[in-house]
Amino acid sequence: MISALKWIAGAAAFAAVATTSLARADDLGDDGRRADDSFLLLRDAVRQDDASKADFYAARLGNYSIPSYVDYYRLKPRLKDASYAEIRDFMKRYEGQAIVDRLRNDWLLDLGRKRDWATFDEQLPLFVLNDDTQVKCYALQSRALKGQKVAGEARELLTAPNGYGEPCAGLIATLYQAGQFNVDDLYAQLRLSGEYNATGQARRIVALLDGNEKKAVQAVDLPAIALAKGVGSGRVEHEIYIVAIGRMAKTSAKLAVLALNKAASKLSPQEQQEAWAAVALQSSYSLSPETTEYWQKSNGAALSIDQIQWKTRIALRNGDWKQVEKNIRAMPASLRADPAWVYWLGRALMVQAGSIQATGEAMQLFRSISDQSNFYGLLALEETGKLITIPLPGLPITQAEIAPIAANPNFQRALKFFGMRLRFEGTREWNWGLRGLSEREHLAAAEFARQNNILDRMVNTSDRTRIQVDYTQRYPSPHIDIMHPTTQTLGLDKAWVYGLIRQESRFIMDAQSHVGASGLMQVMPSTGRWVAKKIGLADFAQEMLSDVRTNILLGANYLNMVLGNMDGSQVLATAAYNAGPGRLRSWRSTLTKPMDSAVFIESIPFVETRTYVKNVMSNTTYYAALFEGRPQSLKARLGTVAPRGYTEQEQQESSFGSR
């Protein structure tokens, strides 16, 4: 027993020393700081694809604490010209590290470009993450060239043309030339290119069809000019015209409808349906009242992934449960398995049965996702008659369990990168270190992250467990000494504020968004100045948003103001906090009567905001369960949303019996 305790103490001490020496080089003096600065300059040189600068800075890092990344950055700009022996030597030297998988990803793309399928096929099974769409396209192309049937897999993969690049374009050409794709596949890809504003891909598809490439580019980029020239003759010209109609509908559905009606006599019934689907999709994003009519006119069209989902969302808003069921059952199996559509199919069956009691199939659907901790998993759980509770925690994680995590080189490298504010590299190393760990070890890694104040990794790591769970890791409440008096003074729901922070910044204090929002509550500088003036905070400066106390004070006050403007609806205020009050007022103005909040959320036009609101509201429910120590109802928290001016009584009366 004594020897075991000595080993534990020794391991912990070693881990602490190793972590400190690696993650805090800047504490070791000017040499450590200069080395880190050179590493950052090396990284920037590689991002600029400047091989000579990369070599210059790499030469200054001969004894750097993470040599694998120095060698990777030295090699990457020369990858196209590097010998296979040099690449293999790097992989052998750093075998098992995350950076090797990163290099293999790069190399596979280069091998695909060179059409070196023999080496590509050798390396592909060694690519651990295998999360690159373009690599997957090359993989399918390699198999197709060997005569394998891959069309079905390709159709499932090729759904977002803006990420295709040359590899996926090459796959489409290969499959078409081999007879695995037919002209209908190409036309589906052409229409998809219009949806995604993928000009280059539209041009490549039209070239395969021996059509006019210039017209294809014009249809995507200058639809008004393309429509003014008329529909043309032949299917290729017609399909290009349909793309132009969809692109025009993005800015003006009325003009798109005029052009469609004018050309209708020259289009086949099928082509007209496809054109109406293109208009209906864009109209769905504006939630305009004509959208339902457009979708009805599209009946019979082959719908894209986005189109079938939006047709279903509009049916949800209309309360057309029969259409909801029909649409979901028509979805591809992979999409139909999404928790959102599992839940809504169950709801459609339940409502059509004429009772709030779920039918057998509906209950089976609800139970199939009720163990998931996401938005629809929680709603499905409640449909089975249960409320949201916090499971009892297991045995506390011990320092003995944390010691091997702390000694793991992957986590050490992660801490080093986090200390340098290189979150992308740090997260890569952290996630690589989690591979193969048991659930208990995941909890130990999460606790290690807590000890090092990397709360986003604690949350993400703990979220991965399914049987052994610790909700204090998943839903932390740091800075409670600041948060509690602030929310109490404002009369603001503390659980909701924490639920929002968890989604906004994952508790990264120095988080910066691409639009300039800062800190825990991701407050925009302009918003910070406006709120500071409103609450009488003198001498506000943008740098103050990095201060925890100021960030929470301004963010909570702003959230409270938004809540007041949204008639006290957490759902509406959450959406407004993310997308802006102006957009929310526009979306809300489309309501003619109170609507189930879950339906409203599912039909938010922005993917980011739709996901954001779902996550914030489910986060809030869990925080409430933790803070209050009793079961919670997400359904009750969501309630209904109503047009501005509805009284609470009118809202309750309108929603009575809607389920």
Q: Which residues are catalytic?
A: 504
Spell out the long-range contacts of 546-551 with Cβ–Cβ below 8 A and sequence spacing 24 or more.
546/509, 546/510, 546/518, 546/519, 548/479, 548/482, 548/509, 548/519, 548/520, 549/482, 551/509, 551/518, 551/519, 551/520, 551/521, 551/523
Residue 196's Cα: distance from chain center in Å?
A: 17
What are residue 523's DSSP bridge partners? 518
Helical spans, DSSP H, in 287-359: 291-297, 305-318, 321-329, 333-336, 339-352
Q: Transcribe 204-267 into DSSP letters.
A: HHHHHTT--HHHHHHHHH-HHHHHHT---SHHHHHHHHHHHHHHHHHH-HHHHHHHHHHHGGGS
The CA–CA distances, whole Å, from 653 to 347, 354, 643 equal 21, 19, 14
Query: Are the CB atoms for 291 and 283 separated by under 8 Å?
Result: yes
Q: Is 568 helix (H, G, I), strand (E, B) or coil?
A: coil
Query: How is residue 78 annotated by DSSP?
Result: G
* Count of C-beta atoms within a 10 Å radius of residue 17: 11
- Cα angle 417, 418, 422; round to 5: 65
Query: How is residue 390 annotated by DSSP?
Result: P
How large is the C-alpha radius of gyration of the chain?
Answer: 28
Cα distance between residue 448 and residue 489, in whole Å? 34
* Count of C-beta atoms within a 10 Å radius of residue 459: 20
Residue 622's Cα: distance from chain center in Å?
A: 21
- Cα angle 243, 246, 247; round to 5: 85
Cα distance between residue 360 and residue 366, in whole Å? 10
User: Element (H or E) spanning 38, and its range?
Assistant: helix 30-47
Tokens 């979708």 correspond to 295
Cα distance between residue 434 and residue 448, in whole Å? 12
Tokens of 308: 């079938």
* Count of C-beta atoms within a 10 Å radius of residue 658: 13
Q: Is 516 helix (H, G, I), strand (E, B) or coil?
A: coil
